[in-house]
Structure 1
Amino acid sequence: MQFDTDIFAQFDKKWALLTAGGKEKFNTMTISWGGLGTLWGKPVATVYVRESRYTHEFMDREDYFTVSFYPESCRRTLGVLGSKSGRDMDKMHASGLTPKQAGKTMTFEEAEVTLVCRKLFRQKLDTASMPKDIAEKFYEGQSDHDMFIGEVVEILR
């Protein structure tokens, strides 16, 4: 597996979609926090999902998820998918993206690259262990994030 990219810009500047669930029922959300690397001798993707997000339910329940990256032409769509909840609307049809099965989970045809991940680990971020300025800026009055680590089992292009 090979994925050549500017890893710092990939999440922060380009954003990504995190998708979990199967063909019959899945949800996706835009993410700009994440990381790629090696852990426990495996290639991994790390993503962060607030407990309040609908996608969190899917991440808890499912064994697989995808992290997919898109061309700049999809930027507006990713903005909508990051600001609307699948609890309140049918984001899949409203987005204009084309769902596509990726192993035991889902991605979208428009993705430039999709990382198919097998969930290895989940842990709540402890705001009491964070620097105070970060905890205040990102968590005051908001739900906490859970960190999910997944083994990258396939890269789709």
Structure 2
Amino acid sequence: MEFNTDIFAQYNKKWALLTAGDNDSFNTMTISWGGLGTLWNKPVATTYVRTSRYTHEFLDNNDYFTVSFFPEEYKKQLGVLGSKSGRDMDKIHDSGLTPKSVDGSVTFEEAEVTLLCKKLMRQRLEPSSMNPEIAKQFYEGEAEHDMYIGEVVEIL
């Protein structure tokens, strides 16, 4: 497996979709926080999801998830998928993107690159353990994030 990219820009500048579930029932959300690296001698992708997000339920209930990166021309669609909830509407249909089944999860035909990840762990980010300025800026009155680490088992 090989993925040559600017890892700092990949999440922050390009954005991505985090998707969990299968063709029958899945949800996706736009993410801009994440990381790529090595942990436990495995290539991993790390992502962070607020406990209040609908996608959180799918991550907890499935063994696989995908992180999909898109060309710049899809920023509008990713904006919709990051601002609307799949609890309230069929945001996938409204986005115009085409879901595509991959081993144990879902990605989209329009994605440039998809990382298929096997979930290895979930851990709550506790504001009490953070720098107080960060805790205040990101968590005062907001739901906490869970960190999900997944082994990258395939790059599509």
Q: Which amino acid aligns with 1:66?
A: T
Query: How does the TM-score come out when normalised to structure 1?
Result: 0.99
Give the distance between the partners of 1:34 and 1:98, measured in 2 at CA: 24
Could you give the per-residue CA deviations for residues 25-54 of structure 1, whole angstroms, max 9, x where no partner exists? 000000000000000000000000000000
Sequence identity percentage:
72
1:153 deviates by 0.2
Q: Which residue of 2 is the match for residue 43 of structure 1?
A: 43
Q: Which residue of 2 is the match for residue 32 of structure 1?
A: 32
Counterparts of residues 64-83 of structure 1 (less than 5 Å): 64-83=64-83
Could you give the per-residue CA deviations for residues 48-98 of structure 1, whole angstroms, max 9, x where no partner exists? 000000000000000000000000000011011000000000011001000
Give the distance between the partners of 1:102 and 1:134, measured in 2 at CA: 36
How many aligned positions are there?
156
Q: Which amino acid aligns with 2:27?
A: N
Gaps of 5+ in 2: none
Q: Which residue of 2 is the match for residue 106 of structure 1?
A: 106
Could you give the per-residue CA deviations for residues 75-127 of structure 1, whole angstroms, max 9, x where no partner exists? 01101100000000001100100000111100000000000000000000011
Matched, 1:144 2:148: no
1:147 deviates by 0.2
